Amino acid sequence: MHTLRTVPRRLLAGAGALLLGTALAATGTPASAGAGADTVGYVRLAHLSPDTPAVDVYLAAPDASKPQVFPGVGYGVVSDYLSLPPGRYAVAMREAAPPPPTLRCSPPRWP
């Protein structure tokens, strides 16, 4: 059973893993020769904390109307690289919402 103190720590550990992966992807791209050639950046999402539940990840630019959403990211998931314009982005993680219930209907029974 999770206590209230361990869940935030696990989410914090997951956030740290996500941000570390993002920082490594950003520094791993080679520098271009021209100063104005930085027109594309890359980010990669990785869930590397086995004790953290699946999370919904939100990535938003300050001028964007809606964030990019990665729903239900579970342990071991590594995304492809996502190309983005260089700049600052806000990253948020929340525990993944449970899937909606499946409604099962049976045919009516006639007497």
Query: Tell me, what's the pLDDT at 9?
Result: 58
Structural domain count, the chain: 1
Kindly state whether residue 108 falls inside one of the protein's structural domains: no
- What are the pLDDT digits (tens) for 20-76? 455 444 444 444 444 555 688 888 889 999 998 999 999 998 888 898 888 889 999
Query: How does DSSP classify residue 50?
Result: T
Query: Tell me, what's the pLDDT at 55?
Result: 92
Question: 58: domain range?
Answer: 6-29+39-95
Which among 106, 107, 75, 70 has a CA at the least distance from the CA of 91?
70
Kindly state whether residue 107 falls inside one of the protein's structural domains: no
Kindly state whether residue 72 falls inside one of the protein's structural domains: yes
DSSP SS3 for 3: coil
DSSP SS3 for 59: strand
Query: Tell me, what's the pLDDT at 4?
Result: 44
Query: Tell me, what's the pLDDT at 14?
Result: 59
Cβ atoms of residues 25 and 44 within 8 Å: yes
Concatenating the DSSP letter of every residue in 71-107 gives EEEPTT-BPPPEEE-SS--EEEEEEPPPPPPPP---P
Kindly state whether residue 110 falls inside one of the protein's structural domains: no
Query: Tell me, what's the pLDDT at 15?
Result: 57
Kindly state whether residue 69 falls inside one of the protein's structural domains: yes
Kindly state whether residue 45 falls inside one of the protein's structural domains: yes
pTM: 0.55
